[in-house]
Amino acid sequence: MANSSNPTRRDPYALRAVMLVALFLLTLPGIIIAALIAEPKPPAPPKVELAESAVVREAGGMEALVASDLYRQGRQQFITNCTACHGEHGEAKPNLGKDIAHSKFVAERTDDEVMAYIKVGRRVNDPLNTTGVDMPPKGGNPALNDAQIRQIIAYIRALQAHARGEVELPAG
């Protein structure tokens, strides 16, 4: 006897397949819309804050900076963290650090650029390193925070102004 199939009998999987395709086609626009809505927007440009030393300089000149707590705190931070290589007055120590008081590199940069530089330092293999010695990130003190670095920058700015003859620095 020949194998006869019932022409009225349907494949049970065909109906499921059609339903899955219909479900997919109905949800696809929703998935696309959700993906477009959820697409991350480009970040807003970072807010650039002036360094406190720049604000003090703009408000009352270098005399105001030198008379401020920012200068005194910066001097103390500089003595604690920077003098081993750069000297107490930024004059440099031979074969260790650069002369900061007369540094064109520092003078040509904003406080924020100097901060970024201090945070990463300069490796001995950097083509701009002329001392042959690493300047470690944060001068080798990983505990330095942004406020302390800004204090140091304020002191450096005062050292530079003094070197140009623009301001007298307090003794001690």
Q: What single string gives the DSSP state of each residue in 30-83?
A: HHHHHHHHHSPPPPPPPPPPPPHHHHHHHHHHHHHHHTSHHHHHHHHHHHHHTH
- Whole-model pTM: value is 0.65
What digits encode the pLDDT tens for the residues 30-62?
788 777 776 666 665 544 344 556 655 565 677
Q: In the beta sheet, which residues pair with residue 135?
A: 122
pLDDT at 146: 93
pLDDT at 47: 43
Rounded Cα–Cα distance for residues 124 and 69 (Å): 35
In the chain, which residues have pLDDT < 70? Answer: 1-8, 38-60, 172
pLDDT at 32: 80
pLDDT at 48: 39
Rounded Cα–Cα distance for residues 38 and 48 (Å): 28
Residue ranges covered by each domain of the chain: 53-163
CATH 1.10.760.10 for domain 53-163: yes
pLDDT at 118: 94
